[in-house]
Chain A
Amino acid sequence: MITLKKSDFEKILKHAESVLPEEACGLIAGDITEDGKEIKKIYILTNIDHSNEHFSLDPKEQLAAVKDMRANGLTPLGNWHSHPESPSRPSEEDKRLAFDSKASYLILSLMDREKPVLNSFRINGDSAENEGLVITE
């Protein structure tokens, strides 16, 4: 299980909607406990691909985020990105570029603008496992 505060979900959603039709992306950090992962901070980064089909994190912003995590005692947990026009599941490219099998990959689907869907996956090669994302108050 992995938890995300509702306020952070709303930040991700608001940003992802604001950059449409491009994909949005960022990082997540928090704690790993016996019960799973707790996302304590989300980072909104620039998608330097500026594409509706691809994303790459801005390396300078990534560096700043990594330093912020360290300064705040947070564990890097993975990343998030949006799918403006497809479901909340890892694409073939998502799987191909997922190099860390322990990381969480959050995918926000905006395919149905009225019903955004956010899921978290662990990806290992060709297989993706839904981690069971819980949004908390």
Chain B
Amino acid sequence: MLITVAGTKKEFEDGLTVAKLIEIENVETPQYVTVTINDEFIESGAFDTTVVKDGDSVEFLYFMGGGQ
């Protein structure tokens, strides 16, 4: 299946979960990553059970915060 990851179209096997995609894409600090599929935010607790489908567009957003 063809999905778009951070703006780039890539081929993956069917049945890919968000958790597996994070692993394949070598996402840094995955515990602080927010994931969207087609602009919908995915709860981090659902990464293991959410399956990416053909034609989906996935974005990884890295938490940014701090304080004085």
Contact = CB atoms under 8 A, between A and B. Distances in A.
B5 to A, nearest CB: 12
* Size bracket, chain B contacts: 10 to 19
Contacts of A55: 65-67
Given A66-B59, A99-B32, A57 B65 contact: yes
A53 B59 contact: no
Contact of B28 (A79, A93, A100): A100
A84 to B, nearest CB: 7
Given A56-B64, A91-B68, A99 B29 contact: yes
User: Contact residue range for chain A?
Assistant: 20 to 34
Contacts of B64: 25, 27, 56-57, 62, 79, 97
B65 A56 contact: yes
Contacts of A125: none
A49 interface: yes
A56 B28 contact: no
Given A25-B64, A54-B67, A91-B67, 13 more contacts: A49-B65, A52-B68, A53-B67, A55-B67, A57-B64, A63-B59, A79-B64, A83-B68, A84-B68, A90-B66, A93-B67, A99-B29, A100-B62
The 4 closest A-B pairs by CB, nearest first: A54-B67, A94-B66, A83-B68, A56-B65
